[in-house]
Structure 1
Amino acid sequence: MRRRHMIWLSAGVAGVVLAGVPLVAFAGAAPVAGLQALSAVFLANLDDDANACRTKARTIAAAAVGREEAADERFQEAKDKLELESEFLALRRSHRIEQNQADRQLAACNDAADTVVNGAADELDLTRLRVGAWPDAPADATATLTTTGKVRLFVKRAGWQVASTLGPADLRRGVQLGLEGTDVVRDRTVWDGGATVTLRVTAGGRTTSSLVRLKEAPVLTQLNTAKLQRVLTTDASDDSGRKWRDETAEVLPEGVPLTRIDTGGDEWMQDLFEPAYQVMPGPDGKPHGQRVLVPTVNDLHRQAARITYTELRGPDVAVVHVPGVPVAGIDDMNTYDSMGNLETMPPTPGHPHGTIVVGNTPSREILTFFRSQGAQQIVTVDTGWLTIGHVDEFIQFLPYAGGWRAIVADPTAGLALLSKAPGTQKLHGGLPTLEWPYDGRIDQRTIAEFRADKQFVDTNRIAAARIAANVGKLGLTPDRIVRVPVLFTARSLDWAIEKTAAEELPAGPARDKAMAALNAMRQGVAETPNVVNGLVVNAGRYVAPTPYGPLVNGRDLFADATSAALNQIGYQVTFVDDLISAHVSEGEIHCSTNTFRAYP
């Protein structure tokens, strides 16, 4: 038996082996050219190169609103009649399936949903294979093509057709094949992304075969260190929100748009989806890929996250629906499944595609999805000390001098800065005129009052300890870290609600107990607008919320300390005011934006 191995490997995907093994010769004839592949890697062809899905998606999403509101009412009525926890879990699961009906319909529209190659752009998404020419193929020569895995195979004749059989004319001249994935890897115990293509040729009553093995490209989360290409944000309904977005747009590089999208009132663009990508070698040997947007499974953001289908899916932009399954003991309303709670630490030795960082207990379906790609480690850190509980509240990653740095919130530095201003001064300096209810949401006590508040000091002490532990778990060495002052408070929106309820109780043991519980709260939210929760524009520019720290000689101590820290690594900081539009709702600029960045 004669063998020839023709191997083209993707440099970005380890552990993939491809061999094109030619057919053995038929007796008395020249060897038959075998099946060859130009790449060992293929894409899940889930984008929409012809822009055929967007109008349909908008119709589906709009129709779902009323239906889902009615389903929520039925769920509440049914829930109130249940007695057993097991019954409640079953109800939650059936309700979630019902509420995700639109998501399943939206995801079903994509380029792999049909048996057509949808134009030249879709053709680029095919991994190319070839059946070599067999000029002496006899008139009775035929071939069959079969596949395993979640793939579809095309053959190019006058146009692309689904490949199943080849005739003698095809075999004599040789034919080009194209392979597309019809889904992503979701759970590697179900499908690990492997696929085979087998060619079986029959002539003169004899059959022989040739086979190639391929692997689907992993879905990799986007890196902040990559070049910024587009900023996405919500369509702000207030003047304050529009103003900081306008100011951010002014400092973006030429050619980088800031796109405002109507999310139906959901402010938190970062939480709606995680930008990721797949890449493979293209027909010309250059990398070719697509974005893969992964919407949150958090039910609070369900309808808003559908902008991934109605506004963003298109040429080289795919969307993957990962359904979350409710489990006992975990509240559907927690925020750990918001994508602001999933960040990616840039490459480190042994982790060339970066490390996914999540806080506390995101949906196991999301974790299974990313683990099943087999390309990025997932590290879980403690975000339970935060009221919202998102990773982006205390750490962010920035490109720096061919590598990267981590900007990390430093409550200890924040407390130390308070000693540099008179105690009689209000902690928040330079505030604009605040009307109700914002005058009550911004804590306008003096520095001395804050420093004397055991709850406030304890909250920051705990925050500092938990941040240090998380930084250690990520293996960040001091040379990687840029520390910036941020102060946290237990006086969150939840605290304010509990305080109102406690104060409405009549004097007595119940009120005393409620007030004691209020004073015992230590989960934190940012007291000073959180400069870690900003926008990385590109190397050299960072957009941060105006921190409104104490003023000394007219200068904001927190803003100056942040600028000085980032200036040391060559960054210029642009401060914008998100106090009313985001901060008072316990988010900041990073929460209100998302980005498309370049991928390899």
Structure 2
Amino acid sequence: MAHLRTVPIPRLTPGAYGTVSVGDATARKNVRIFRREGSEWFITQNDYKFTQNQLQLGLNLGIDARDTRRPGGWGGRINVRFTVHDRGKISADSVKLRVAPILTYHHSQSVQQIFTTAGNDTSNFFQSKFVSTLEASLAEMDVNYPLFEFNASDDLWAQDFFEPGYTSMPGPSGPVTLQVMIRSAQGDRVAGRQVFEYLRGSGTGAVQDRAGSRDEINSMGNLETIPPHNFNGKNYPAGRIVLGTHGAQKPYILKYMLAQEIQDPLLFDTNWLAAGLAILRKTQSTGYGNIRAFSRQNDTEGNPSDLFGILWGLHGVPSYTIDDLLSQSQIIEANANFARSIRGTVNLLKRETGIKNADIHGVPAVFRTGLTFLPNGGIRPERNNNSELAGSLYPASINGLILSTQYLAPNPWGPVVDGRDIMADAVSEVYGRLGFKVNFVDNWNSHHTWGGEVHCATNTIRNGSYRWW
């Protein structure tokens, strides 16, 4: 609630009265005005009359919004009018206000809470195992952020059915912040209801834009935020939103984020994605081409059908060698194509943000095609099992959870040479140069096999007490 005050008006007659009103009908239904009496606050309508005594003391008022800025709807602007009637004369003053924008967090903001989805031994053995491994990894990293487990849905993707955001305004001791959970614009994605059922409360709001389709492009894992920066005479104090498009198809949430007018969205064409061959070639050239390309063993516990009996996904760990992998011309050609797509994305980032080559650090990755997803899982039929769209062959270590100076990455299970996972070592070396300590967590069966990783399985609330104005 924002505070409003009026200065005391000492020379008023006993019949004097005042009103505080918002004239525009749309604006009025979207805000509430409060008056303070003693220690309590009371909702105050346009026709409420403040007495001579109240006006002489000065009014202590508050105002809050009942909605956010909306595309094609209320833009958050209001005009509050203070009117005083005395001895047949009318005096008035007004102030223009606007509801603060909804903003999304960037990874330079410190973590305050972590989210994931719960699992159990009967319905999802591997998710339950992932949560236990996640908790153990966080303990090993000596991070004490509270971990919230959604448990009212079998939806695994805590990154996708909502995006933690915030709104803030100036306060006497710095920004006053309200957490706002943004449900994905996927009306039939039941898991998203949990932000209203379990997260909304004191200090935390929840919001949903108009309901879009269940299409994966509307999952909130498709939204990230570039940290604050200045470039080409433009200032982005809260950073810029990044959204992936599929050619001409844009995410439903785009118009809502544009309506906030602060984090100017930057669009990337990720149509080549379904959601590090060099290091393998180097290993092959040193005489280790005959070792297994994947160091992980198959699980022997859990429901065997979850491993081997389902038609979709990459179930079970491939047994082929590095030589076998590098002899697959389709994979080699596909990775060359995807590398060009990555370079195009990097070049767009350089043009839009001013980053240089020295700011860009490569993490080893190998892509595969033909990834097949669950029916009715938000993947369009033409994108399912598509030979031209990329999925990660190894667990994608770039798709992890950033925790200030530590990074929780999916274990890539790369080839082991002289007792060392060459993929994991390469990842640790890259992030180590940037000041991050890397811990690895196994998400092969819980998420990688379904086309996602640690980042997709988690979410975070971060510290939003920074000025955006």
TM-score by length of 2: 0.84
> For 1:311, what is the secondary structure of its paired residue?
helix
Check whether the contact 1:495–1:518 (CA below 8 A) recurs between aligned residues: no
1:452-531 matched pairs, under 5 angstroms: 452-475=327-350, 476-493=355-372, 521-531=387-397
Q: Distance in 1 between matches of 2:384 and 2:135?
A: 39
Q: Distance in 2 between matches of 1:306 and 1:424?
A: 50
Please report how far the alpha carbon of residue 309 of structure 1 lies from its aligned counterpart in structure 2 after TM superposition: 1.4
- Paired residue type of 1:137: L
Report the equivalent of 1:543: 408
Check whether the contact 1:324–1:363 (CA below 8 A) recurs between aligned residues: no
Q: Distance in 2 between matches of 1:172 and 1:519?
A: 73
Report the equivalent of 1:292: 180
Q: Which residues of structure 2 form unaligned runs of 5+? A: 309-314, 376-382
Q: Distance in 2 between matches of 1:344 and 1:209?
A: 43
Please report how far the alpha carbon of residue 416 of structure 1 lies from its aligned counterpart in structure 2 after TM superposition: 5.1
Alpha-carbon spacing, 1:269–1:229, altered in 2? closer, same or farther (3 Å): same
Check whether the contact 2:371–2:385 (CA below 8 A) recurs between aligned residues: no
Please report how far the alpha carbon of residue 454 of structure 1 lies from its aligned counterpart in structure 2 after TM superposition: 1.6
Match of 1:214 among 97, 109, 115: 97
Report the equivalent of 1:438: 307
CA offset digits 1:217-274 (Å, max 9, x no partner): 1111111111111111111232532342222331455541222221421111000101
Larger Rg: 1
> For 2:216, what is the secondary structure of its paired residue?
coil
Q: Distance in 2 between matches of 1:457 and 1:529?
A: 18
- Is it true that 1:321 corresponds to 2:205 in the alignment? no
Following TM superposition, where does structure 1 have runs of at least 4 consecutive aligned residues deviating by more than 4 angstroms? 361-365, 410-421, 432-437, 517-520
Alpha-carbon spacing, 1:135–1:151, altered in 2? closer, same or farther (3 Å): same
Q: Distance in 2 between matches of 1:495 and 1:279?
A: 39
> For 2:73, what is the secondary structure of its paired residue?
coil
Q: Distance in 1 between matches of 2:414 and 2:251?
A: 39
1:15-94 matched pairs, under 5 angstroms: none
TM-score by length of 1: 0.67
RMSD over aligned Cα, in angstroms?
2.5
- Larger proportion of helix: 1
Q: Distance in 2 between matches of 1:378 and 1:255?
A: 33
- Paired residue type of 1:320: V
Please report how far the alpha carbon of residue 570 of structure 1 lies from its aligned counterpart in structure 2 after TM superposition: 1.6
> For 2:55, what is the secondary structure of its paired residue?
helix
- Paired residue type of 2:192: A
Please report how far the alpha carbon of residue 193 of structure 1 lies from its aligned counterpart in structure 2 after TM superposition: 1.6
Report the equivalent of 1:97: none
Alpha-carbon spacing, 1:266–1:495, altered in 2? closer, same or farther (3 Å): closer
Report the equivalent of 2:257: 370
Q: Distance in 2 between matches of 1:591 and 1:309?
A: 21
> For 2:134, what is the secondary structure of its paired residue?
helix
Report the equivalent of 2:221: 340
1:91-110 matched pairs, under 5 angstroms: none
Q: Which residues of structure 1 form unaligned runs of 5+? A: 1-125, 326-331, 389-409, 497-516
1:280-429 matched pairs, under 5 angstroms: 280-282=169-171, 284-299=172-187, 302-325=189-212, 332-349=213-230, 350-361=235-246, 365-388=252-275, 419-420=285-286, 422-429=288-295
Q: Percent identity?
A: 29
Check whether the contact 1:442–1:584 (CA below 8 A) recurs between aligned residues: no
Report the equivalent of 2:31: 151
Q: Distance in 1 between matches of 2:173 and 2:424?
A: 48
Please report how far the alpha carbon of residue 335 of structure 1 lies from its aligned counterpart in structure 2 after TM superposition: 0.4
Check whether the contact 1:297–1:363 (CA below 8 A) recurs between aligned residues: no
Please report how far the alpha carbon of residue 375 of structure 1 lies from its aligned counterpart in structure 2 after TM superposition: 0.3
Q: Distance in 2 between matches of 1:311 and 1:478?
A: 43
Match of 1:223 among 106, 130, 155: 106
- Paired residue type of 1:557: I
